Amino acid sequence: MNITIVGTGYVGLVTGTTLAELGNTVYCVDIDAKKVARMKQGSVPIYEPGLEEMFLRNIQAQRLFFTTDIKEALDKSEVIYLALPTPPGEDGSADLSYVISVANQIGEMMTDYKVIVNKSTVPVGTADKVRETIAAKTKIPFDVVSNPEFLREGFAVEDSMNPARVIVGSESEKAQEVMAKIYQPFTNTGIPIIFMDEKSSELTKYAANSFLAVKITFMNEIANYCEKVGADVDKVRLGMGSDDRIGHRFLFPGIGYGGSCFPKDVKALIKSGKQEGFDFQILEATEEVNQNQKIILVSEIEKYFKGNIEGKKIALWGLAFKANTDDIREASSLDNIKILLEKGAEITAYDSIAEDNVRQVLGDQISYAKDMYSALEGADCLLIATEWSEFKNPNFELMAQKMKNKAIFDGRNMFALEQVEDKGFFYKSIGRKTLR
């Protein structure tokens, strides 16, 4: 099948490459001419394990093309995926201007039947808006389908080639047939495709992400309570997760969730609810708890230094919002840095993957270390903000030699307590006993 993808951001690029890998001919459209030129030459604009290989393989096989010319791509394709940004507006609601503007162009340019597939995370009712926008411009028949994307950063290729399920929101039989054909390689291997109406499909994406945000946040509250009563959240987590109605995943407490999806989607769902006069009380609480959780270790650091951290040298391990990505959007590290700097601390950070992105935002407000141990040189304490694997089993002796004062504030529970015990460190993690 011939498919156009409008928007070659994270979701668009991964979707386009995946659809080409499934045997389709894919035209990726972007307004950024420089980016299109680079992609044509085989340069992948984002880092995702396994993506470059798949991208190059499909360019070589002449199944994956890049262009700035939407009309040319439209003329060649029966199916048009929209993978456009839907950034939060000032009030938290999703800004649909990119989606609507492309819908207008499609309406003006299309010359035969098209299936327009929405991949971006969009509020309930967007499929209707896209339909109305296109219908105002043309009499030619078309269908609009909601097909939300559930991939995780760092696992984009794995998740898009092997999704837990495919959701297709459309009540048009013709569109359902087209979508079933595109995803047949998945259904052949037992991956379920679930058909539903557009609105339910649009809401499924928000509901899934918000549920996971609530799950993490619930666990963070349990962890904070564990500290009050002397329980160990690692034990509680194992005990709870063994019930398969709960499951072990997404029960890891820490300094809050971040990234480009959970914070945005929780806010957008709250906002959509309000527009209908509906209060998502559980999501409002989740947002508030998460905001406090992100900086929960700042007050612990202050307490440790008897209320004054001015001039203290703080080593920071990890800047990305989670491991295996260079993404720093809504990263807890940034909230911590902001407050620690305001309180007069000096920060030396180490994160070889996300450092460049942080430099662009913070410049030389903080220092950057070339490796995890040199970040500790002369430090009064260490704060861990991202769960990179390389931090899991450090050389504690070397750490002790480098640090001026042996204190660790671990926002991602990187170490088992037994690992740190008897090493002479003050060790504060989340939801567990503090070692002194």
Going by the DSSP 8-state scheme, the letter that residue 77 receives in this structure is -
Please give the backbone phi and psi of residue 65, each rounded to the nearest 5 degrees, phi first.
Answer: -125, 155
Q: How far is the CB of 155 from ligand UDX (least distance, A)?
A: 8
What type of residue sits at position 206?
Y
What type of residue sits at position 77?
S
Contact 192, 221 (CB under 8 A): no
Query: CA-CA distance, 17 to 157, in Å (whole number)?
Result: 9
Closest residue to ligand UDX, based on beta-carbon distance = 261
Q: How far is the CB of 83 from ligand UDX (least distance, A)?
A: 12
Query: CA-CA distance, 113 to 29, in Å (whole number)?
Result: 19
Among 250, 373, 396, 426, the residue binding ligand UDX under the rule CB under 6 A is 250
Among 84, 94, 116, 251, the residue binding ligand UDX under the rule CB under 6 A is 251
Asked if residue 57 belongs to a known ligand binding site, the reply is: no
Please give the backbone phi and psi of residue 37, each rounded to the nearest 5 degrees, phi first.
Answer: -60, -45
Q: Which is nearer to ligand UDX, 25 or 357 (CB)?
A: 357
Asked if residue 274 belongs to a known ligand binding site, the reply is: no
Which residues, 6 or more positions from 304, have their beta carbon under 8 angstroms from its beta carbon?
A: 381, 407, 409, 426, 428
Q: How far is the CB of 329 from ligand UDX (least distance, A)?
A: 9
Site size toward ligand UDX, by CB under 6 A: 19
Among 321, 409, 415, 427, the residue binding ligand UDX under the rule CB under 6 A is 321
Among 169, 258, 318, 431, the residue binding ligand UDX under the rule CB under 6 A is 258
Among 55, 81, 252, 415, the residue binding ligand UDX under the rule CB under 6 A is 252
Asked if 153 interacts with ligand UDX (CB under 6 A), we say yes
**Given strand 407-410, what is the order of strands in its sheet?**
367-368, 346-350, 313-317, 381-384, 407-410, 426-428
Query: CA-CA distance, 89 to 86, in Å (whole number)?
Result: 9
Binding mask 100-139 for ligand UDX (x = CB under 6 A): ----------------------------------------
Contact 313, 379 (CB under 8 A): yes
Asked if residue 195 belongs to a known ligand binding site, the reply is: no
261 has catalytic annotation: yes
Q: Where does residue 62 rank: exposed (0-12), middle (13-18), buried (19+ CB within 10 A)?
A: exposed
Among 44, 57, 98, 150, the residue binding ligand UDX under the rule CB under 6 A is 150
Q: Which is nearer to ligand UDX, 319 or 379 (CB)?
A: 319
Q: How far is the CB of 254 from ligand UDX (least distance, A)?
A: 4
Asked if 13 interacts with ligand UDX (CB under 6 A), we say no
- Report CA dihedral (411, 92, 215, 358) to the nearest 10 degrees: -30
Stretch touching ligand UDX by CB under 6 A, among 50-58, 81-89, 146-154, 223-231: 146-154
Cite the active site residues: 261
**By the criterion CB under 6 A, which residues form the site for ligand UDX?**
149-153, 209, 212, 216, 250-252, 254, 257-259, 261-262, 321-322
